[in-house]
Amino acid sequence: MDTTEPLLSLRGVCKSFGPVQALTGVDLDVPAGHVTALCGDNGAGKSVLIKCIAGIHEPDSGRILWEGHETHIRSPRDASALGIETVYQDLALADNLDVVQNMFLGRERLRHWLLDEDAMEQAAVNTLRELGVTTINSVRQHVASLSGGQRQSVAVAKAVMWHNRLVVMDEPTAALGVTQTGMVLDLIRSLRAHGIAVLMISHNLNEVFAVADRIAILHLGRMVAEAPLTGLDRRGVVEYMTSGRAGAGAPL
């Protein structure tokens, strides 16, 4: 396989809701093993775009390609079958369950028709260890007792446990403190080191420039810039986000 082929490509994707045009002719490439930051002001279309990738919304027109082959993502099940997992801001974790139970929720392992608790616990421990998560004392503690950064770690570990190849993260550091934010950024770096692609929505440009390899910028539903991070500076990103075009001194 040609290793330069993007893992995920969108070509000319459009999506409207009644008279509101949320996405117009959007092109996007997400390479394997890279962190791509998706930026834009409120209402730019970021959430709609990731929901098209996640199978929540089906595009009205355009093409989605996975490893260069056209595919159709009509449901979250279709996305999961390809190897795409989305971690939303609410994380979709059950507070009344422990870490292991959350990571295997709906996919429990059985042995002789009984839950194989030992195998699930070991798999959870191994996945967290591989991702470099060392702050969770026990995988048997309830998720309700975890900090925001620890909860994000569990959600991401749950996403990668099933051999997913693209993890989409919606504002993964929202409402986190400095220490917990650093933990999540390290987690994103770990995903990249394991060859997993990350598509990350973020408003925080310091975090974008700390972990992203590439940046894609939406303005009023149109993709106005897509480039390696080295091709833009913070001023240029802000110009694209607010006006949809580059200002003076904003290289691409």
Q: Which residues of 69-107 are buried (b: 16+ CB within 10 A; e: fewer)?
A: eeeebeeeeebbebbbbbbbeebebeeeebbbbbbbeee
> Residues 243, 245, 248, 252: is their CA dihedral positive or negative?
positive
Looking at the DSSP assignment, which residues form a beta bridge with residue 97?
A: none
pLDDT at 79: 96
pLDDT at 1: 38
pLDDT at 247: 62
In this predicted structure, the answer to whether residue 251 has a pLDDT above a threshold of 70 is no
In this predicted structure, the answer to whether residue 51 has a pLDDT above a threshold of 70 is yes
Q: Rounded to whole angstroms, how far apart are CA atoms 85 and 60?
A: 22
pLDDT-derived band at 47, boundaries 50, 70, 90: very high
In this predicted structure, the answer to whether residue 3 has a pLDDT above a threshold of 70 is no
In this predicted structure, the answer to whether residue 197 has a pLDDT above a threshold of 60 is yes
What value does the mean pLDDT of the chain take?
Answer: 91
- Asked if 166 contacts 111 with a C-beta cutoff of 8 angstroms, the reply is no
The reported pTM is 0.88
pLDDT-derived band at 107, boundaries 50, 70, 90: confident
User: For the segment 10-44, what is each residue's pLDDT rounded down to a tens digit?
Assistant: 999 999 999 999 999 999 999 999 999 999 999 99
User: For the segment 117-140, what is each residue's pLDDT rounded down to a tens digit?
Assistant: 999 999 999 999 988 898 899 999
DSSP string computed for 157-174:
HHHHHTT-SEEEEESTTT
pLDDT at 249: 44
pLDDT-derived band at 2, boundaries 50, 70, 90: very low
Average pLDDT (221-230) is 94
Q: Rounded to whole angstroms, how far apart are CA atoms 147 and 173?
A: 12
Q: How many C-beta neighbours within 10 Å does residue 108 have?
A: 12
pLDDT-derived band at 246, boundaries 50, 70, 90: confident
Looking at the DSSP assignment, which residues form a beta bridge with residue 168?
A: 86, 199
**Domains in the chain: ranges and CATH:** 8-91+165-243 (3.40.50.300)
